[in-house]
């Protein structure tokens, strides 16, 4: 047996926060040292932060990366630690992992496969490191090897799969195992998406089994740069068995998951594999002496949190991911609170509940002192004793009434605010609305009527609500949250500079049908830390409505558009799956068998025309969180021209086909 104590760390980093990122790395190293860890894997690009965007092209960023690396190195004496940073060589910029052995840099490994799909743009900044290549780079006056390297550390051979290197079919581990690697470190920056963690578990387990290695996976955690939320979830596996798993969606700045592993057992499993053909070329093997201390065997345990086993996993993940994203956005932007225009409807109720959860969940994990320390720049928070008191200090909701508002929505808004302990304010904006209508009517020399000016009269009510909440947000130095969802974004069912106004749009990445499902689950079940929210019953009992037409119109969203589940089905087929109108129609024919051809065509025409006309709105949405592969954010995921042909020919052909049959 050759027993080693190894660990994977997760870090809540911030792009270009040099001192903060360094201190969190040092904190993780100390946590590992306190547990007698010999090998510690830390996340990809953890020195700079992963989301530096075009700042990676700055020479100053590269200089400071090396400076911070030099500040970290002395703290690793008696340990083997990997950290990530950008490295330039011969005019090419590379995403690299640095292995530090016993207080000395052993070398750097370049990432072979770059993430360039979805929200990732690595090929914009980095070059792929070619297999078998090796050069020398200078750090603090000393030359170090950089390339396709493995490291012989005291008889244990260590190699790297850097994030995407493990996601591709030709993963780096296939070649590393032939080079006799005993341990693979995977420093990652893998963003959260629903159920994505299960995929990571599979490649970690299969890598450890197929390659006959000990496999260490580390990841970022939290809202690093604004849009992507990272869920952590450190993993350590050997011989196809999960030995240890760290928490996901933790509010901790640094967390280390450690376990004792038997390198000899993993090595012998590889020796028994008759397909294993060792590569005896050791030209790119870096020998770095390291005296591994004796280690006693300890039973391994991999115990994910109880909520990971909840049958409503998507509801749990949504609540915890967005709450963590909001908490980090609040403190990293140094905003002094949240402002939500709470209408009494589903969207604003969800945003308000999630804002409260961001404080409640943080307090449940970190304790009140931990939360107040992270929000210490908000002087009012120092007096709060309980999480609910802190929510009251941080979250302000505003109900903004016009003559078309009802007591139903007002009472629902008040009930939700009281149940989550938010401040509840009321603005009457009807005079402002009538002032705008009167001003324009006088200028045009005609009366504006619902018969002739329906959309304009609806929109002015939504827009008249913006100045007051913006003023409140400015007065308090708070973050105004937009309440639009993804289904509305798809068809432009939102008023620009009205319900879309805000600095952050936390639910713009989720569809309305799931949002209503989540609110019903929160009403009856909720999270273990806070329990159900019965007050949401007043919201869930209503049909979604913009409440902008006179009460007699009985306005509902689905009457204006189409049933939300139909809208979401068309959106997934047309936008996520890139199907044309004819193919989407064929799909609907199999799922909506009770609907007439004319009804299906009417829905399709409405969707495609509204989608095409409203790209400009999606371009102007406040930043939103990435939650799944159905994202419509044009800045990170789903590009579409602002001006287009609007699917006119495709829809005309489809109508002709249906008419002929």
pLDDT tens sequence across 365-405: 999 999 999 999 998 787 889 999 999 999 999 999 999 99
CA-wise closest residue to 222 among 107, 358, 103, 404: 358
What pLDDT was estimated at residue 274? 66
Q: Do 365 and 327 have their domain in common?
A: yes
Is pLDDT above 90 for 305?
no
Is pLDDT above 90 for 545?
no
Q: Do 147 and 65 have their domain in common?
A: yes
* pLDDT-based confidence at residue 277 (cuts at 50, 70, 90): confident
What pLDDT was estimated at residue 283? 77
Within its chain, how far is the Cα of 183 from the centroid? Answer: 29
What pLDDT was estimated at residue 27? 98
Is pLDDT above 80 for 276?
no
The answer for 578, left when phi > 0, alpha when psi is -120 to 50, beta otherwise, is left
| Domain-embedded: residue 157 | yes
Mean pLDDT in residue range 46-65 = 97
What pLDDT was estimated at residue 303? 74
| Domain-embedded: residue 320 | yes
What pLDDT was estimated at residue 301? 64
| Domain-embedded: residue 555 | no
Strand 395-401 and strand 423-428: the pairing is: parallel
Bridge partners, 624 (sequence order): 505
What pLDDT was estimated at residue 302? 64
CB 9 within 8 A of CB 82: no
Q: Do 507 and 578 have their domain in common?
A: no
| Domain-embedded: residue 554 | no
* pLDDT-based confidence at residue 310 (cuts at 50, 70, 90): confident
Mapped onto helix, strand or coil, the DSSP state of residue 443 is helix
CB 275 within 8 A of CB 241: no
Q: Do 227 and 346 have their domain in common?
A: no
Task: Tell me the two tokens of residue 136.
Answer: 């020398």
Mapped onto helix, strand or coil, the DSSP state of residue 557 is helix
pLDDT tens-digit series, residues 111-131: 999 999 889 999 999 999 998
In the chain, the number of structural domains is: 3
What pLDDT was estimated at residue 13? 98
Instruction: Give 573's DSSP letter.
Output: I
CATH number, residue 48: 3.60.110.10
Task: Report the chain's mean pLDDT, rounded to a whole number.
Answer: 94
Sequence-distant (≥ 6) Cβ neighbours of residue 199 within 8 angstroms: none
Instruction: Give 56's DSSP letter.
Output: G
| Domain-embedded: residue 274 | yes
User: Cα–Cα distance between 573 and 576 in angstroms, integer?
Assistant: 6
What pLDDT was estimated at residue 563? 92
Is pLDDT above 90 for 270?
no
The helix-helix angle for 512-524 and 564-571 (nearest 10°) equals 130
CB 95 within 8 A of CB 110: yes
| Domain-embedded: residue 556 | no
Sequence-distant (≥ 6) Cβ neighbours of residue 79 within 8 angstroms: 29, 32, 33, 37, 38, 39, 40, 102
pLDDT tens-digit series, residues 597-655: 999 999 999 999 999 999 999 999 999 999 998 999 998 899 999 999 999 999 999 99
Q: Do 68 and 91 have their domain in common?
A: yes
CB 127 within 8 A of CB 163: no
Mapped onto helix, strand or coil, the DSSP state of residue 15 is coil
Q: Do 258 and 182 have their domain in common?
A: yes
User: Cα–Cα distance between 362 and 589 in angstroms, integer?
Assistant: 46
Q: Domain range holding 584?
A: 562-661
Question: What is the longest distance spanned by two Cα atoms in the chain?
Answer: 92
Rounded to 5 degrees, φ, ψ at 540 are -65, -25
Mean pLDDT in residue range 161-188 = 95
User: Cα–Cα distance between 594 and 199 in angstroms, integer?
Assistant: 37
What pLDDT was estimated at residue 280? 66
pLDDT tens-digit series, residues 283-301: 789 999 999 998 887 776 6
Mapped onto helix, strand or coil, the DSSP state of residue 270 is helix
Q: Do 80 and 140 have their domain in common?
A: yes
Q: Do 247 and 350 have their domain in common?
A: no
Q: Do 190 and 325 have their domain in common?
A: no
Mean pLDDT in residue range 516-524 = 97
CB 638 within 8 A of CB 632: yes
CA-wise closest residue to 225 among 92, 52, 350: 52
What pLDDT was estimated at residue 28? 98
Q: Do 641 and 568 have their domain in common?
A: yes
Residue at a domain's end among 287, 304, 321: 304
Mean pLDDT in residue range 306-316 = 92
Residue at a domain's end among 250, 276, 304: 304
Residue at a domain's end among 304, 330, 362: 304
Q: pLDDT over 90 for what percent of the chain?
A: 88
Is pLDDT above 80 for 467?
yes
Q: Do 298 and 315 have their domain in common?
A: no
Element (H or E) spanning 372, and its range? helix 346-374
Q: Do 566 and 625 have their domain in common?
A: yes
| Domain-embedded: residue 624 | yes
CATH number, residue 383: 3.40.50.620
| Domain-embedded: residue 557 | no
Rounded to 5 degrees, φ, ψ at 137 are -130, 155
């Amino acid at each position: 047996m050759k027993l080693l104590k190894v660990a994977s760390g997760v870090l809540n980093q911030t792009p270009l926060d040099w001192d903060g990122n360094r201190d969190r790395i040092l904190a993780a190293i100390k946590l590992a040292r306190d547990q007698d860890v010999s090998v510690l894997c830390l996340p990809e690009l953890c020195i700079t932060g992963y989301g530096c965007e075009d700042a990676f092209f700055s020479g100053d960023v590269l200089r400071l990366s090396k400076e911070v690396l030099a500040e970290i190195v002395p703290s690793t004496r008696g340990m083997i630690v990997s950290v990530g940073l950008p490295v330039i060589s011969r005019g090419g910029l590379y995403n690299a992992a640095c292995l530090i052995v016993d207080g000395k840099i052993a070398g750097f490994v370049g990432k072979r496969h770059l993430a360039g799909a979805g929200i990732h743009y690595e090929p914009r900044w980095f070059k792929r490191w070619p297999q078998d290549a090796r050069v020398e780079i200078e750090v603090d006056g000393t030359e170090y090897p950089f390339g396709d390297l493995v490291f012989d550390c005291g008889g244990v051979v260590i190699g790297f799969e850097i994030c995407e290197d493990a996601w591709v079919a030709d993963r780096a581990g296939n070649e590393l195992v032939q080079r006799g690697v005993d341990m693979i470190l995977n420093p990652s920056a893998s963003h959260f998406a629903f159920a994505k963690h299960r995929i990571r578990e599979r490649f970690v387990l299969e890598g450890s089994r197929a390659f006959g290695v000990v496999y260490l996976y580390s990841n970022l955690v939290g809202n690093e740069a604004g849009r992507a939320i990272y869920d952590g979830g450190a993993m350590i596996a050997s011989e196809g068995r999960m030995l240890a798993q760290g928490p996901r969606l933790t509010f901790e700045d640094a967390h280390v998951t450690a376990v004792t592993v038997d390198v000899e057992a993993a090595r012998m499993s590889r020796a028994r594999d008759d397909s294993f053909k060792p590569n005896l070329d050791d030209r790119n093997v870096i020998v770095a002496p390291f005296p591994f201390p004796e280690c006693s065997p300890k039973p391994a345990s991999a115990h994910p949190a109880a909520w990971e086993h909840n049958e409503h996993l998507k509801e749990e993940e949504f609540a915890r991911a967005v709450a963590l994203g909001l908490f980090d956005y609040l403190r990293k932007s140094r905003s002094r609170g949240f402002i939500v225009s709470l209408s009494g409807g589903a969207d604003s109720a969800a945003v308000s509940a999630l804002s409260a959860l961001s404080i409640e969940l943080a307090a449940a994990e970190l304790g009140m002192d931990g939360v107040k320390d992270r929000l210490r720049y908000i002087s009012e928070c120092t007096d709060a004793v309980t999480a609910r008191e802190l929510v009251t200090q941080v979250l302000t909701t505003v109900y903004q009434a016009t003559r078309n508002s009802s007591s139903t929505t007002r009472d629902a808004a008040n009930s939700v605010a009281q149940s989550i302990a938010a401040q509840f304010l009321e603005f009457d904006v009807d005079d402002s609305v009538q002032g705008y209508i009167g001003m324009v009517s006088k200028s045009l020399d005609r009366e504006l009527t619902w018969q002739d000016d329906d959309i304009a009269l609806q929109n002015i009510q939504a827009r008249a609500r913006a100045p007051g909440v913006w003023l409140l947000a400015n007065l308090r130095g708070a973050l105004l949250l937009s309440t639009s969802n993804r289904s509305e974004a798809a068809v432009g069912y939102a008023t620009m500079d009205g319900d879309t106004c805000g600095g952050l749009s936390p639910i713009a990445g989720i569809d309305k049908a799931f949002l209503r499902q989540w609110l019903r689950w929160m009403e009856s079940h909720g999270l273990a830390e806070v329990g159900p929210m019965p007050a949401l019953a007043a919201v869930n009992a209503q049909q979604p409505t913009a409440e902008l037409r006179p009460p007699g119109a009985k306005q509902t969203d689905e009457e204006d558009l189409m049933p939300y589940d139909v809208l979401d089905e068309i959106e997934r087929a047309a936008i996520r799956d890139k199907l044309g109108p004819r193919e989407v129609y064929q799909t609907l024919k199999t799922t909506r068998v009770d609907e007439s051809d004319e009804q299906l065509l009417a829905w399709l025409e409405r969707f495609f025309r509204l989608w095409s006309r409203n790209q400009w709105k999606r371009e102007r949405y406040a930043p939103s969180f990435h939650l799944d592969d159905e994202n419509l954010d044009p800045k990170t995921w789903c590009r579409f021209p602002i001006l287009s042909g609007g699917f006119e020919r495709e829809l005309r052909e489809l109508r002709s086909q249906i008419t002929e049959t």
